[in-house]
Amino acid sequence: MISEAINISKIVKEIASDESQARYTVCWIKDEISALEIDQTLFKNVSNAIYFLNPIHKWKIHKKEQSSPSGYILYLSNTVLDNPLLSHLHINKVRLFSSGAIPLFKLSPGIEKRTQAILEMIDELLGSQLNHKDEAILSLLNTFFVYCDGQCNIKSVASNNNAKTHVVYSFKKLVDEHVCSCHEVSYYANLLHISSKYLNECVNEVLYVSAKHIIIEQLLMRSRHALKFSNKTIKEISFELGFSSPDYFSSFFKSHTEMTPSALRRG
């Protein structure tokens, strides 16, 4: 059973790997964590990130003295990772757990909330006696991995030298907060007190896309959500997203999706 090959626990205190159980580990560290120790190397500033740890690594989470949970530890066996539903994903045992480096993802603010909701549902299902819970858990795990692999997140590796990663995370956080009022790279570079050229350099090195691509991606994500799940008119959506006119919004949307806002809404 899948539910017997998965375990999940909230991070409520200091916790370390268990050498007696060779399991792949996904650490979602939310906050209030002072450091993550991996193979006797201490990594600080690890909040709001997901780490993928192979059983060969010895790790320990150093938690601040707080009573509130600070994320989740998800333990996975080969049975889960080899399941056909997950085998087609880029995120799999070969890519994330068998590389020389330790992969991590810095979650964008919107994805962070969805990640927490998914892990909470997995936790709830594992403790339930519901019918078909294995299928539900696999589906949630699939969704979790898809979100992790999205370009909304910052892909990196565990390192104590992450200045550019920090710049990109700060940039994406600012885009999440201000994209409805400003679509220009220079605006965000000014907020970060760096040049547009350096911001583009950081984003390209960490995400392999341009800074403008991140802004466009965020606008398209919000556009699709509003068109599919709200009753607002296309005119209202265009102005809320900071476009000067509905025609400009429609042209922007069609150039990046090859369909008009009206066509998406009808579909």
pLDDT digits (tens, 9 = 90+) for 100-116: 567 777 777 677 888 88
pLDDT greater than 50 at residue 126: yes
**Which pLDDT score, from 0 to 100, does residue 250 have?**
96
Specify the DSSP class assigned to residue 97: I
205's tokens: 């090195």
Domain range annotation of the chain: 2-157, 163-266
CA distances from 166 to 5, 20, 159, 243 (A): 35, 35, 12, 29
Work out the average pLDDT over 8-24: 85
Q: What angle do CA 129, 132, 134 make, to 5 degrees?
A: 85
Give the pLDDT confidence of 41-95 residue by residue, as tens digits.
777 778 788 888 888 888 899 887 766 888 899 999 888 887 887 766 655 554 5
Work out the average pLDDT over 124-151: 85
Write down the mean pLDDT value for the chain.
Answer: 84
Contacts within 8 Å (CB) and 24+ apart, 18-23:
19/58, 21/75, 22/55, 23/55, 23/75, 23/76, 23/77
pLDDT greater than 80 at residue 267: no
Nearest alpha-carbon partner for 214 in 170, 148, 262, 162: 170
pLDDT > 70 fraction of the chain, expressed in percent and rounded: 87
Angle between the N-to-C axes of helices 196-207 and 211-229, in degrees from 0 to 180, rounded to the nearest 10: 70
CA distance 250 to 253: 5
- Amino acid letter at 90? H
Determine the topology of domain 163-266 in CATH: Arc Repressor Mutant, subunit A (1.10.10)
Residues near 57 by beta carbon (within 8 Å), at least 6 away in sequence: 17, 38, 39, 102
pLDDT greater than 90 at residue 246: yes
pTM beyond 0.85: no
Give the pLDDT confidence of 22-42 residue by residue, as tens digits.
788 999 888 778 888 887 777
114's tokens: 């969805």
pLDDT greater than 90 at residue 176: no
**Which pLDDT score, from 0 to 100, does residue 56 have?**
80
Residues near 247 by beta carbon (within 8 Å), at least 6 away in sequence: none
Determine the topology of domain 2-157 in CATH: Jelly Rolls (2.60.120)
CB neighbourhood size of 129 (10 A): 5
